[in-house]
Amino acid sequence: MIEKVGTPFFTTKENSIGLGLSIARRIVEAHNGTMSIESSKEGTETKMLFPMR
């Protein structure tokens, strides 16, 4: 399932359309940044890194 995170319209929630992380990924990439997602039994962590100007 983790490989689908960030895919437009993918969601595990009943009242969600699944666009949040896909939009975030596009914004990060538009600014030459990187985004990573790691999941464990404690929870899921999303990291967004942007280059300094």
The amino acid at residue 29 is E
The full 3-state SS of the chain, as one line of letters, equals CHHHCCCCCCCCCCCCCCCHHHHHHHHHHHCCCEEEEEEECCEEEEEEECCCC
**Residue 30 corresponds to which amino acid?**
A
What are the extents of the domains in the chain? 2-49
Give the pLDDT score at 28.
94
* Residue-level pLDDT at 2: 64
* pTM (2 d.p.): 0.71
Residues 21-47 have pLDDT tens digits of 888 989 999 999 999 988 889 988 999
